[in-house]
Structure 1
């Protein structure tokens, strides 16, 4: 039985035999779920249903889900290649009941598929069930055990603790007991003691999760009103069992890749030996190229943060195996991508959309890593060559920060040299980077508590009226929640001034953060005079939380049912709308200039700016930026109407030229924002060739009524944020006009500078350079300014060259004086305030007059220290080497360096230590030369 047949039989069993809807796999990059690096289970796309925050048109589902487990809580990366069954990328076959069937059907169907359809021997199957937990007050799952007893003898039904047989989504949220199906592959069917022992002779195939409880913020459990089933069947493991293989990697899932690896690397065929280095490399490379191909196809990129860094580590791990085991010094991994596309593109058609982009990125990353690896090794060798027993924290951090060496790679390289790494110091230097993650985690904790409030209470949905108005006078309080010291929100009947609160009302004009647009701010007034200042608005499901605090306490409290006057900061909302509508216009203009391959990959719409991430493989030229600005401003100047209307998604998606955000999930009814033409007209003639010349998008945000209200648009910057992803920051309205005015003012400052400028020209150029770097001005104007600065900097260099010649003459004079007074085997002196170039000029003078002496010169300029050293051959034979000498001296001044035995240079960071450093130079020379 082939892997294709196994996959299809599973899907057909549930679709044709048991009324399930086939739901395509969600992307392996979980858009809109910041809690996950990658989709690591089939249930990820149904989390909102389990949380009670969403619904589906079906209540039975089946699919094969693309999963990656690398990084984060579920991380199999270190195990891949070492055994027969771990993967970073894998498929998870799954079937779900969304409030429909429960334990009896799930177990019965699982048994029939395995034994009747696939013909697995019943006497080799084992089932596990939950043994219960007194602390949680959850009894043993006797119901599941009783159902299993219809198929299995008691000795093959085992009970296990919460660790193995109780599934939880997170610290809070839906959870429940699970029942696993294991298969005994021992020759004599003696594997009962090996169940849950992580032994390849008894493998877990299928996990049936019965979601029936909710874990609350106080860690207690409560029953869910709707019970669900969530199952997961490892596809690669199942193929191995049904094909009679002892390893997942021996199945037809991997053989095409192994054949391709053999052809590309010109090595021997895969041998299926567990610990053989070549076979380990085969498994690693095959697994990793699958993970990379799927992740890059679904919108991830290799980079330095989060999931992007995990992908970069996966790629570099594969490349290292290729280089060390197969001696592949040229890029090779990208040649394997077409094999993944060919073997899996029919099941996951997204692989076929643009495989060349995946090939190109992997190729570029391979080339980049070769350069990075070589430079990093040089730095490592320099650090290791300084002596000592460990690599210091600064070097380890530089290897990580500059060259992308994970700390575990640096540690491994150090161990090979018999050295350690100052990991504790390294972690200290990483603290700033981790602070950002901790901040995000703190926000996540607060959001999680609000999710828990919605989930465990019957709090009613909030009616949003903010499209029509920014103020209402008939809202009523539904609930007030106060934040505690740990960031969690709890209901309160007596909110106090100074507390961070979350206010819920029956209706609201406040827009909650969504789709890149930030939440509204404003004020809420109670009948008794209490004023509540809203600093942010967020939405959980359909419940709006107005975050803020009491600004002034009047005669009345914010009690449940109290009438309220709610007023959005209308000026701030207007500026947000100007930036949001301008985002749509710019998105349209980009496609006109760059092409239809451009897709939105993220955005931020704020009152003071917009940020727009888009797919594009190279930097925009200044000319392209200017043209996007021109087209956007042309639509603004036309003062076209901006239409917003809702319609059926299945009809709206047929509109020619309509744009949607990559990876975003849209409901059955969608809101369409279109410029210059209304939705009814669009739906009446969806194939019209004119529509791609219009801005038409799905969007739930707030917008201007006319494009002219945006006034003006200016692009401030365009930069890379990841491989194949660019970011534009832009301004609209008065902010754009101010940016243009500021840019013209800086151009005016440059007009008066030229060849006749005085000695203060360098200072004035530096001041304008600093102003340009700090100013919020159009990118095109910034380019003009920098072009003019280049011309001025040439004039500055001419002036500095003249000054340098004068300084060099002074150094030569000082050097001649040092040489005239020299007496002995070595000369160590300081020359005041000159750079390394001038020191070398002085060194040439001294060596010419004193060719038999070892010479070291030092100087301090500003916050920098420079040293140069020269040692003649006769003194090198006595043990004094210029490279070692200058390196040890520079350490005293907080620096380093080195070079040849006869000539070397170094730098330092502590000018106050230059005297002490030169004393050390004299001591070293005296000790070596007697």
Structure 2
């Protein structure tokens, strides 16, 4: 059964059970501060479990893209070393929101697995929650009794709280669960070891494939449990593992989900993928015996019977791991980019960069790939999964470009890291290399620790891993401390089903506080979060910042709203202190000035998007935005730097729409399908509901939930500030509107008059500046000629100061030249004299300079190295430097140390 058929069979099965089939939500979460990525199938539906929104249908099924690489659910370091962990995986799930419960969930799971997919019931085990004294919860007898009607009791196992009680986090909805495990070992292995003893023991052929969560409790901040108002079903079945079972193979990587990618890696790298029995961290046979491979004699029969050149089993397993890592990671990175998350140095972007760099370093180290090649796998991935996930096809070119650029960048980093690592080795006086130094290499330059350890072993050296991990722990502790936050339970003041946002039409209204809680973080200190029954405050989303403002009580006392954010479909208002009477009625007022400026910038992003598509072409797509009150930032797909003419055309296009005084035309709660049919632009990576809001200004027509001006003339003027690259194929424009443009021109006006003043109020400032530039260029030329003449004269004087030390022509002297003059002098003397060793010191603008020249014959015969010498001598001038073995320089802030450096250099000739 092909993977595409396995997926469609699941969805069709639950469609027949009256479930709505919904597409996978984007992996990158934008309104859940507790998660960076969707890490389980239920994450996109949290608002339904929490009661903050109601689904259109109480029964839903889907195949959700998930990513587990950070936080509690972190599989990254396992990936590649076993056959069933992944960073990105598909979670097949069916959901009930207050509808059916355990009886139906268990019966349908059994029907699908055994009757539809045809899995032998004799290879299945199920687990049931055994209860918890800590939470005063009994065993899940109801689930046990339901399972008895399908499977023999000796295959129903008790599971502890860790395995069989599912929680979304430290707080929130949770409940007992039943896991379904499958034992795909051979008959001989089953006879030797009972499968039930291997359940939940990380055995590669005895694995969990489906988890049925019975969501019936709410975990409070104090750790206690309370029943939920409604009971829910949340199931998740690992698609890749299910494919492994149904395709009769022993590894997820042997399914047709991965084999096309693996074959492409083999072709490009010329390295075979032939798992060797028992050499990885797997507990049993993980050999691929299903793809025409003869592992016993280590031959690859699928390639015309040619003998595999890899004969060392350890080396082969390193190649196997590398290929598994790359085939897994390219999927995670590709889907993340398609969903709008580019690699970067912070947040979710850093996680994606880390995954990709892990793949690159495995290809660099074990597949000998010194040039980019991972981007070439995107084509295979797109062909394999593009029908189920069309974003892979539509974003294919962008994904390839971004990955290729990241590969090129990190491969340069690896080259640089090798040079720096060699320097660390040269400076070490021990065979054990400092863990602190290696951590600095890792932290500053991203040079991976495993590669460092490998290189050191090849040099007969050892890494102080304890020291490295100590430094790593210190960094993690600092990071953890900075992000520490404690959140109390919500205190509910009044029941209110759905909070209403009225901020499109009103900036003031009377509100009541429905609930509040205290949040304490190291960054912000003690804060309070308030939820109102209705709100005029726009919650941060769609790139637009949240509103600020204030609450006024009946006595005229004010509480300031410092920010507004969205969490699981609810607007949360942040304050530093609570109102006196929490149950009173308040006048909620949005900061109108900030809102007006923000609306101008948000509307300008729509007009900018339209302008870019008109000027550059229809290939332009929005890839991100930031809309603040003072400026806007707009990221878009385009593969070359914009020309000045294009930038001018874009700016003029937007300002023409502002001058055109276009009215806002909006539609609220229009069906999504109808909006797209009418031509509204939707953004990749955004999660849209069944109904949406559209915003139109003339021919600019987009889906958007943000706030906007009533007429484009309210923007006043649009001014481009900068345009540049963010990543390969992604450009960024920064711009300003409204009051910020006025401030911009006023500041430039003041700057212009300051410049005129410096030019003695010249009538034609441009001509005056050009005249000064010409004079300056002529003076520079004269100075250069004087310095060259000075160096020429100095060369003759220095001839008599050369001394011979152990067959070396030696001179250490302070000179009155700049860096360029010293270099010219050194090389001219080097052409005139053999076996020359020079160290010149100089002071320029209060800074110290040391330059070391060594004849190449001395570098080779005596092992002298100017770079090493000048770095050591640089300590005397409180600086550092480096260069080539025959010429190097060091700069420092202590000119008084020059004489000490000149005295110390003679030690290198003894």
The normalised TM-score by structure 2 is: 0.84
Question: For each residue in 1:910-930, what CA deviation from the matched residue of structure 2 results, as whole angstroms up to 9, or x when unmatched?
Answer: 4243333223212333xx2xx
Q: 1:609 and 2:610 equivalent?
A: no
Question: For each residue in 1:201-220, what CA deviation from the matched residue of structure 2 results, as whole angstroms up to 9, or x when unmatched?
Answer: 42212111111111122222
Match of 2:710 in 1: 705
Match of 2:379 in 1: 338
Deviation, structure 1 residue 151: 2.8
How far apart are the structure 2 equivalents of 1:488 and 1:216?
Answer: 23
Q: 2:447 aligns with which of 397, 400, 405?
A: 405
Question: For each residue in 1:17-70, what CA deviation from the matched residue of structure 2 results, as whole angstroms up to 9, or x when unmatched?
Answer: x22222222233344445444433222221221222222111122222223333
Verify the 8 A CA contact 1:396 1:421 in the aligned structure 2.
no
Verify the 8 A CA contact 1:818 1:846 in the aligned structure 2.
no
How far apart are the structure 2 equivalents of 1:464 and 1:891?
Answer: 63
Match of 1:921 in 2: 905
How far apart are the structure 2 equivalents of 1:712 and 1:283?
Answer: 54
* Relative contact order higher in (CA < 8 Å, ≥ 6 apart): 2
Number of residue equivalences: 857
SS in 1 for 2:236: strand
Question: For each residue in 1:492-533, what CA deviation from the matched residue of structure 2 results, as whole angstroms up to 9, or x when unmatched?
Answer: xxxxxxx74445544443333333332333333322232223
Match of 1:376 in 2: 417
SS in 1 for 2:74: coil
Verify the 8 A CA contact 2:52 2:497 in the aligned structure 1.
no
How far apart are the structure 2 equivalents of 1:7 and 1:544?
Answer: 36
Q: 1:230 and 2:234 equivalent?
A: yes
Change (3 A) 1:571 1:436: farther
Change (3 A) 1:414 1:670: same
How far apart are the structure 2 equivalents of 1:728 and 1:431?
Answer: 38
SS in 1 for 2:388: coil
Verify the 8 A CA contact 1:273 1:279 in the aligned structure 2.
no
Unpaired segments ≥5 residues, structure 1: 490-498, 552-556, 677-693, 759-767, 769-784
Deviation, structure 1 residue 224: 0.9
Verify the 8 A CA contact 1:38 1:67 in the aligned structure 2.
yes
Change (3 A) 1:587 1:238: same
Q: 1:257 aligns with which of 258, 261, 265?
A: 261
Verify the 8 A CA contact 2:127 2:157 in the aligned structure 1.
yes
How far apart are the structure 2 equivalents of 1:433 and 1:588?
Answer: 44
How far apart are the structure 1 equivalents of 2:897 and 2:236?
Answer: 65
Change (3 A) 1:625 1:251: same
How far apart are the structure 2 equivalents of 1:268 and 1:253?
Answer: 18
How far apart are the structure 2 equivalents of 1:109 and 1:203?
Answer: 20
Q: 1:889 and 2:888 equivalent?
A: no
Question: For each residue in 1:473-509, what CA deviation from the matched residue of structure 2 results, as whole angstroms up to 9, or x when unmatched?
Answer: x4445556555577899xxxxxxxxx74445544443
Match of 1:96 in 2: 95
Change (3 A) 1:336 1:859: same
Match of 1:765 in 2: none
Match of 2:780 in 1: 800
Q: 2:539 aligns with which of 512, 517, 532?
A: 512
How far apart are the structure 2 equivalents of 1:168 and 1:540?
Answer: 18
Q: 1:548 and 2:575 equivalent?
A: yes
How far apart are the structure 1 equivalents of 2:835 and 2:494?
Answer: 89
Question: For each residue in 1:70-116, what CA deviation from the matched residue of structure 2 results, as whole angstroms up to 9, or x when unmatched?
Answer: 34443333333322222333322222222211112212222222222
Deviation, structure 1 residue 736: 0.9
SS in 2 for 1:42: coil
Change (3 A) 1:673 1:558: farther
Change (3 A) 1:841 1:43: same
Q: After TM superposition, list the pairs within 5 Å mapping 1:360-759 onto structure 2.
A: 360-389=401-430, 390=433, 397=440, 401-402=444-445, 404-417=446-459, 418-420=461-463, 441=483, 445=485, 453=490, 458=495, 461-472=498-509, 474-478=510-514, 481-484=517-520, 500-540=527-567, 544-549=571-576, 558-650=580-672, 652-654=674-676, 656-676=678-698, 694-743=699-748, 746=751
Verify the 8 A CA contact 2:492 2:514 in the aligned structure 1.
no
Deviation, structure 1 residue 392: 7.5
How far apart are the structure 1 equivalents of 2:524 and 2:138?
Answer: 30
Change (3 A) 1:8 1:709: closer
Match of 2:849 in 1: 865
Change (3 A) 1:65 1:844: closer
Match of 1:492 in 2: none
Question: For each residue in 1:737-783, what CA deviation from the matched residue of structure 2 results, as whole angstroms up to 9, or x when unmatched?
Answer: 332344466567678999x999xxxxxxxxx9xxxxxxxxxxxxxxx
Verify the 8 A CA contact 2:95 2:233 in the aligned structure 1.
yes
SS in 1 for 2:5: helix
Deviation, structure 1 residue 125: 1.8
Q: After TM superposition, list the pairs within 5 Å mapping 1:320-339 onto structure 2.
A: 320-339=361-380
How far apart are the structure 2 equivalents of 1:433 and 1:918?
Answer: 43
How far apart are the structure 1 equivalents of 2:862 and 2:602?
Answer: 74
SS in 1 for 2:84: coil
Verify the 8 A CA contact 2:124 2:155 in the aligned structure 1.
yes
How far apart are the structure 1 equivalents of 2:258 and 2:537?
Answer: 53
The normalised TM-score by structure 1 is: 0.82
How far apart are the structure 1 equivalents of 2:138 and 2:768?
Answer: 78
Deviation, structure 1 residue 196: 0.9
Match of 1:836 in 2: 819
How far apart are the structure 1 equivalents of 2:5 and 2:863?
Answer: 74
How far apart are the structure 2 equivalents of 1:849 and 1:654?
Answer: 78
SS in 1 for 2:721: strand
Question: For each residue in 1:677-715, what CA deviation from the matched residue of structure 2 results, as whole angstroms up to 9, or x when unmatched?
Answer: xxxxxxxxxxxxxxxxx1222333332222112111111
Question: For each residue in 1:645-670, what CA deviation from the matched residue of structure 2 results, as whole angstroms up to 9, or x when unmatched?
Answer: 42422464145442233322233443
How far apart are the structure 2 equivalents of 1:376 and 1:595?
Answer: 41
Indicate the RMSD between aligned Cα atoms, in angstroms.
Answer: 3.9
Verify the 8 A CA contact 1:477 1:561 in the aligned structure 2.
yes
Question: For each residue in 1:170-226, what CA deviation from the matched residue of structure 2 results, as whole angstroms up to 9, or x when unmatched?
Answer: 121111111111123342352221111111242212111111111122222211112
Verify the 8 A CA contact 2:273 2:323 in the aligned structure 1.
no
Deviation, structure 1 residue 908: 3.4
